[in-house]
């Protein structure tokens, strides 16, 4: 990694810095409101909201948004990803071009395991000092590079290098479809040669965390990799849960966190590897998985989709035609973003009500709701965590 980028990555602003750029703001925080209380930032929540920007979420909700800045790989990211998977804690990774060049497999793993990947610019310049053309080039170049490397599209979140920005920057980012994402919790973790101790890191982060916090950690930090499991466990024990940035208040179609279900499934006594997620504690199963599993039973149904009206159709009693991607079983992901399902559901031509979400482009439905529609019963053995579907005779 070139020296200029490394220098820039070490300039996390925990206080007010001066800038020669007109109207430049260097993001800083004042933690004087007390332990567990949201800090004051260089801009207010209200000002940032004008540009679809954030530095924290709802301060009345015990939700934490985990974010990691990825300037260069230092052997810690895989450890961080392992801990996140253990806790089913979604995070956002803000990427620069050098990271994509040098760690393409880790970059791909982030998206594959359900995490958000955001834009931290291609070359990590001080964006408060660049022209509009240069600003747009930095973001669009990184976006194209990420898609070329991973086959995925970046999520619409941008973090300004060094926390330096102008209000014009916020507007330019918004025009490009991004939400500028700052932070309300951070500490001096970015210099690999001056890593904080476990004790000081935990003390600082625990004193600063608060409801609705957007937490900034650096993936280069060996201390972060070492303490993350303990840190997340402690926050969970305090009643916090972890959410996607896409669930921030005020965003359209906010995402819910879908956790891979720890249940096993059986249909009429035969194991069925349904792809299933827990959303708000209930099992949501792939609609096509269920259709495939019930194909030869009295609860069989066919599945259709009208793209023009975004309507899913179920026809009871008809044989389902598999598409070849069903029944994959428990997904190997940390979590997934669950968004509102299709606009309509018709069962035998009649409008039906069912709780449903779209996860990674596929329809998932509440298992009990679906069973009521197509017939049969659902049972659950708490000891074995097995869900049993019994079809109509």
* pLDDT tens digits, one per residue of 209-253: 999 999 999 999 999 999 999 999 999 999 999 999 999 999 988
pLDDT at position 17 over 60: no
Percent pLDDT > 70 in the chain is 94
What's the pLDDT band for 324 if we cut at 50, 70, 90? confident
- The residue annotated as part of the active site, out of 69, 98, 155, 189, is 69
What's the pLDDT band for 16 if we cut at 50, 70, 90? very low
Contact 248/341 with Cβ under 8 angstroms?
A: no
pLDDT of residue 392: 87
pLDDT at position 21 over 80: no
| CB count in 10 Å sphere of residue 58 | 13
- As annotated, the residues of the chain forming the CATH 3.20.20.370 domain(s) are 3-253
| CB count in 10 Å sphere of residue 249 | 16
Percent pLDDT > 90 in the chain is 88
CATH architecture of 3-253: Alpha-Beta Barrel (3.20)
Average pLDDT of the chain is: 92
Element (H, E) at 217: strand 213-218
- The residue annotated as part of the active site, out of 98, 179, 218, 289, is 218
Q: Is the dihedral of CA 164, 168, 174, 175 positive or negative?
A: negative
Query: Is 69 considered catalytic here?
Result: yes
- Enter the pTM of the model: 0.91
Higher pLDDT, residue 230 or 4: 230
Query: Is 43 considered catalytic here?
Result: no
Pairing of strands 256-260, 276-279: antiparallel
pLDDT at position 10 over 80: no
Following DSSP, what letter does each residue of 350-371 receive, concatenated?
EE----EEEETTEEEEEHHHHH
């Amino acid at each position: 990694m070139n020296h200029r980028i490394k220098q820039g990555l070490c300039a996390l602003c925990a206080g007010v810095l001066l800038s020669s750029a007109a109207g430049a703001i260097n993001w800083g925080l004042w933690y004087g409101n007390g332990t567990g209380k949201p800090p004051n930032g260089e801009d207010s929540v209200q000002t940032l909201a004008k540009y679809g920007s954030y530095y924290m979420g709802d301060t009345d909700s015990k939700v934490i948004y985990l974010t990691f800045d990825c300037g260069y790989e230092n052997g810690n990211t895989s450890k961080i990803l392992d801990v996140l998977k253990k806790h089913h804690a979604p995070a956002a990774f803000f990427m620069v071009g050098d990271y994509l060049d040098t760690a393409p497999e880790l970059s791909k793993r982030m998206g594959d395991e359900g995490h958000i990947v955001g834009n931290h610019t291609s070359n990590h310049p001080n964006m408060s000092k660049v022209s509009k053309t240069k600003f747009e080039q930095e973001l669009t170049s990184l976006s194209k590079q990420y898609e070329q490397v991973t086959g995925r599209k970046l999520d619409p979140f941008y973090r300004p290098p060094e926390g330096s920005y102008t209000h014009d920057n916020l507007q330019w980012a918004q025009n490009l479809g991004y939400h500028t994402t700052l932070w309300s919790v951070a500490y001096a973790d970015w210099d690999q040669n001056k890593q904080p101790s476990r004790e000081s890191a935990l003390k600082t982060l625990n004193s600063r965390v608060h409801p609705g916090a957007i937490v900034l950690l650096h993936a280069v930090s060996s201390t972060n990799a070492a303490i993350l499991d303990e840190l997340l466990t402690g926050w969970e024990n305090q009643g916090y849960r972890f959410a996607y940035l896409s669930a921030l208040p005020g965003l359209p179609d906010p995402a819910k966190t879908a956790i891979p279900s720890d249940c096993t499934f059986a249909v009429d006594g035969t194991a069925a590897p349904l792809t299933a997620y827990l959303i708000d504690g209930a099992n949501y199963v792939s609609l096509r998985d269920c259709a495939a599993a019930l194909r030869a039973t009295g609860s069989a149904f066919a599945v259709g989709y009208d793209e023009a009206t975004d309507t899913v159709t179920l026809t009871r009693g008809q044989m389902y035609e598999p598409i070849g991607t069903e029944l994959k079983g428990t997904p190997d992901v940390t979590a997934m973003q669950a968004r509102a399902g299709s606009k309509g559901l018709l069962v035998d031509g009649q409008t039906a009500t069912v709780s449903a979400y779209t996860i990674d482009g596929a329809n998932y439905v509440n298992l009990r709701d679906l069973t009521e529609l197509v017939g049969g019963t659902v049972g659950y053995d708490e000891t074995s965590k097995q869900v049993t579907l019994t079809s109509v005779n």
